[in-house]
Structure 1
Amino acid sequence: MDRLSAVVGRSRPGAAVVSSRAIESPATDAAAALLAALVASGVRHFVVSPGSRSQALALAAAELERRGAVRLHVRIDERVAGFTALGIGRETGAPAAVVCTSGTAAANLLPAVLEAHHAGVSMLLLTADRPSELRGVGANQTTRQPGMFAPNVRFEVDLAAPEAIDADGGGVQSA
């Protein structure tokens, strides 16, 4: 069993294994552990609007689809991705996770977030960003994402850039 399988497999009984090969990237390991935890919690649909910052999340979602654990929906435009996730949540009664990259990409999800909030439809937003030390200094494709969707979300967490995942799942938590 490779390192990632050991991490994901021990995080929860029956958790989806995201990769069958050793992965050395902390970002990829963290993405795999996070998405496996979401799958273990019942998430079955991921809507991905691809971008460079969200590559690790997109690759983990693609691997989960390859293994038959989830359905992956790729949408180039973030607004379309947000409304696709909203529609999936409305139709299935279960939240879909929407993945996008940094900068204004996350802001493009706001119309769907507002609609979901007012309709009482749950959805998960996985918005990638650059490291927090690059916020507020003029770095390209960086905006202050924490609080961007308030007061229209029930829960928000701003994760630090992953350094490494330890054997117990590296701090991936459920809410």
Structure 2
Amino acid sequence: MSMTTNILVLLGSLRAGSVNRRAVEHVRDHAPEGVQLTIADGLGDLPFYDADLDTDTPPATVAALREAVAAADRVLVVTPEFNGTMPAVVNNAIDWLSRPFGAGALRGKPLAVAGASFGRYGGVWAHDDVRRSASVAGAQVLEDVKVSVRPEGEDPALDPALIGAVTEAVRTLAAFDEAAAAA
């Protein structure tokens, strides 16, 4: 009996042809054996976090995202850097996933961050911000997974350095041993 590790991907770029989306789609389509990557839909449709909306019946888009994260074994955030930090869509998703306080969908969920950005540092600042925010939200952040690539080449989304780094992040995330980490 083979086990499949289900990894939900939160994408920081909403653009259909973004480098990060295309790179993740490539890795998804060539995922390591035993790994299933699913890209979360609708991050751009989430309302900005508002405690007045966060009731027993939150907006449908919020409920769907929370359910998807709860059902996933792991979470991978793949994002570019916007103005030196994470895109608002990622920050907003983390806000929704951190609630209710102490019991949000990210609580204890293994999470890694990866991505590409054309800035000088390949998204390092954004990725550091995502790791910090997700950690505060209760995720079990894999601090040793650091994938911040400045893509190059004729088709930056298929830059071998980017594809290789994201694939390795997926392997590391899938192989993460929660019990050993807790010990």
Q: TM-score, normalised to structure 2's length?
A: 0.39
Which structure shows the higher strand fraction?
2
